[in-house]
């Protein structure tokens, strides 16, 4: 994060500490006072989304998805608290940390929640349409996401201490780039699964036929795609913002941040509230158990016939 790096280095080398009274706003990290109305709006929006995900996750007992989107929405809300605090003192290191760390890491949790859904979508159609066992999609992509979260958190911690801001900035960039790479690979593999499913239309899992034809299910697929695209756009934007250096036009453009960061993350959170995948997890789990039981029964019957001969 070039802005935080510059800020911390300046604080460490300048005898006179900047304040609202002594320095112009252009000398602060972002060069502007965050818009009060917009940031209050997003704070309330993400707080409501967090509460909704908490309720929906407990009700559906979808604990892993709850952790992913619950932490993501909560982190976004905390980040906007930091932006509002920055209005009081745009030169505060503490306020910048409150803003920067959650808004950097939270979308990685949202991406993790999206990764969780692919396994269950595959089960609904039939595991035979996937190149990998459905569970591997969760293990691979969630593991990559956890790596990205850890790297970005480490970078933020190193940068926030002020001991080696440049190193912290570089670490955070590695984490964000790995997150974008994971999103892109996930998208490619999801498209591959879709094409294989489309090719074998008519030979899907019979037990989930009603679910697949429901408007609720089709709406969920649209919501997952929407959330995925929104998070991908946000991450690409953040890479451009970070790599542009101190006081670059992207960093100094608050409307751009509101649209490409705030709105994209809000779209991801709210769409997954409206089309919460709790019902998908239940249906796919039941379908998987039924399929496993059927395979076991078939194996027992085959063994019995073999022994009778």
What pTM was estimated for this model as a whole?
0.87
How high is the pLDDT of residue 110? 97
Q: What is the CATH number of domain 2-278?
A: 1.20.1070
Dig out the tokens for 278 from the structure: 């709790």
Express each pLDDT in 204-230 by its tens digit. 877 888 899 999 999 999 999 999 999
Inform me whether the pLDDT recorded for 77 exceeds 80: yes
Express each pLDDT in 240-249 by its tens digit. 887 776 667 7
Closest to 225 (Cα-Cα) out of 183, 256, 257, 195: 183
Inform me whether the pLDDT recorded for 265 exceeds 90: yes
Domain boundaries, the chain: 2-278
* Mean of pLDDT values over 119-138: 88
Chain CA centroid to CA 134, Å: 20
Work out the pLDDT band at 164, boundaries 50, 70, 90.
Answer: low
How high is the pLDDT of residue 101? 86
Helix ranges (DSSP H) in 14-92: 36-60, 63-86
User: Does residue 155 sit in helix, strand or coil?
Assistant: helix
Between residues 14 and 286, the one the model is more confident about: 286
Contacts of 160 (CB under 8 A, 6+ apart): 4, 8, 93, 97, 101, 168
């Amino acid at each position: 994060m070039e802005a935080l790096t510059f800020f911390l280095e300046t604080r460490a080398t300048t005898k006179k500490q900047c304040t609202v009274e002594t320095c112009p706003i252009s000398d602060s990290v972002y060069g502007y006072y965050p818009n009060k109305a917009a940031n209050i709006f997003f704070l309330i929006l993400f707080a409501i989304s967090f509460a909704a995900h908490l309720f929906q996750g407990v009700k559906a007992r979808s604990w892993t998805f709850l952790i992913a989107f619950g932490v993501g929405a909560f982190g976004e809300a905390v980040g906007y608290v930091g932006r509002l605090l920055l209005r009081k003192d745009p030169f505060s290191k503490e306020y910048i940390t409150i803003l920067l760390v959650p808004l950097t890491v939270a979308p990685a949790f949202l991406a993790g929640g999206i990764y969780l859904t692919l396994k269950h979508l595959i089960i609904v159609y039939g595991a035979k349409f996937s190149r990998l066992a459905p569970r591997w999609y969760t293990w691979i992509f969630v593991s990559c996401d956890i790596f990205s979260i850890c790297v970005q958190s480490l970078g933020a911690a190193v940068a926030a201490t002020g001991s080696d801001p440049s190193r912290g900035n570089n670490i955070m960039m590695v984490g964000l780039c790995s997150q974008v790479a994971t999103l892109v690979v996930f998208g490619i593999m999801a498209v591959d699964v879709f094409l294989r499913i489309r090719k074998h239309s008519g030979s899907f899992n019979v037990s989930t036929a009603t679910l697949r034809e429901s408007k609720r299910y089709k709406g969920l697929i649209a919501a997952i795609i929407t959330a995925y695209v929104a998070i991908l756009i946000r991450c690409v934007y953040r890479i451009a913002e970070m790599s542009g250096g101190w006081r670059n036009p992207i960093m100094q453009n608050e409307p751009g941040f509101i649209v490409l960061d705030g709105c994209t993350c809000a779209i991801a959170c709210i769409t997954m509230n409206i089309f919460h995948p709790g019902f998908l997890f239940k249906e796919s789990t039941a379908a998987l158990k039924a399929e496993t039981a059927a395979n076991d029964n078939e194996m027992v019957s085959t063994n019995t016939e073999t022994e009778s001969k």
